[in-house]
Each structure stands twice: as structure tokens, then as C-alpha cells.
Amino acid sequence: MSDMNDRAALITGASSGIGRATAHAFAANGAKVVLAARRQDELASLVSEIEAGGGKATAITTDVSAAKDVERMVAHAIEAYGRLDYAVNNAGIEGRWAGITELAEDEWDTVLNINLKGTFLCLKYEARAMLDCGHGGAIVNIGSVNSFLGFQTGSAYVASKHGMIGLTTSVSAELAPKGIRVNLLCPGFIDTPMHRRGRAILGDELYDKVLLSSVHLRRAGRPEEIARSIVFLCSDEASYITGTTLTPDGGFTLTI
């Protein structure tokens, strides 16, 4: 992997799962990290973990659906490190699984505001900062295999993740000529708190026999496996990759 020393990476949704693993991966590659999420205690423990390993980290509580929070988050990154080279827009929620006739309007709005509007706001302020710094940069948005596939009772989540395809390709076309690459990463079944909640709803039998049986590797992915893909997309090794989608899903979408 290319040298990320003296470069700064911002990760939203950093307090758990893929975001937490990604923060560790960037730090292991020499990047200084800015950790953003809503849970202050988890952020504090992550900062301690990274610093204990010899890395450099700072954290800021952030609600990505609020423009003022996102603007403050990016300003914190610049204040802390004087630059922003990489950004990973990972914050997201699944919302309540409910049929379309039962889903409340405010439930729909909450999911779309965090997952899709939140990604838009992050892109807006991250791109401004990268352009002001003049170093270029790389941004990875985190979608899902549900960026391509729907499932019953998941209309809000699926709609938000589908929207990230159009958002990513459009912003890539705009920013690539200015030296900023933007890509979408769409994980499959990854062993994170979100997927454990889904497994609890579906039950072990349905999850294992129906879902995991459709994964070529016959297992859920690990957060650190996804983190390595994210760091690759930000690295100089991916210098000719922009506006595309990487799908680390163990072969799941090839089976459907």
C-alpha cells in the first residue's frame, strides 16, 4: 500500500463496525484520522486504541443529517491536521423494517436524511476542503449490495442505498477533473452490529440457510476485510479508479 504518512483521513460512522475497522486500517498505513459519529464514548475509546498503537487520531461527535454538524466536522479536520486527503462516508442506519403500507413518513425521512442526504452533505463540505487545500483527494461512499437489490420491508434503506449510485457517479464526474476521486463501495453480509440486528430479526435458520448459502464464500465478511478495500480505493494504487463501484460481497450478487 502507498505511503499515507502525513495525510489526513476522515471517517464517519467510525464508532463501530466497518467505520471502526477503517479507522484502524488508515492509522496502520500512517494516516492521521478524524473520527466522526454520534456516540461520544465509543469515539473516545477508538481514539485511545489508535493512539496506543502509535497512531494519531481526533474525534468529533457528528450528526451527518445536519449541515452545521457536517461543516463543523470538516472544519475540525482542517484545524487538527491542516489538510484533508481522504474521506469515507460510512455513517448510516437501516431504520425499521416495515411494509410500505406500515412505514411512517418520519421513519422514511430519518433513513433518507442520514444515509443519502448525509452523504450529500459530507461530499459537499469534504470537497470544498479538499479543493481549498489544493492537494486533490479521494472519497469513498459506503453503499450496500442493496444499492442494486431490493428486499421486502426495506424500502427506505434500499432507496437510500440505490440513490448513492447516482450521487457517486455524478460527483465523480464533477470532481475528477479537479483531482478528487469519488467511488462507491458496496459490501455484502458483513459481521457488524447492523447485520447482527438483521440476523436477529430473520432468525439463524433463514439467515444461514437462505442468505449465507447464496454467498460463494459461505460466510459473512469481516469489517477489516472491507476496511482494506476502502483504504485501497483511497490509495495511490487506485489512482485511475473513479466513479465506479467495488462490491466486496463474497460473490453474493453473482448468485442472485
Tell me which residues are annotated as active site.
157
Task: Report the Cα 112 to chain-centroid distance in Å.
Answer: 15
Pairing of strands 57-61, 8-12: unpaired
128, 130, 160: which is closest to 147 by C-alpha? 160
Pairing of strands 180-185, 8-12: unpaired
Residues in the chain: 256
End-to-end Cα distance, the chain: 33
Task: Report the Cα 247 to chain-centroid distance in Å.
Answer: 13
Measure the CA–CA gap between 6 and 183, rounded to whole angstroms.
23
Locate 62 and state its grid cell.
457528528
Measure the CA–CA gap between 41 and 79, rounded to whole angstroms.
22
186, 207, 213, 205: which is closest to 195 by C-alpha? 207
Residues 6+ apart with CB under 8 A from 99: 152, 153
Locate 56 and state its grid cell.
494519531
Contact present, 221 and 255 (Cβ < 8 Å): no
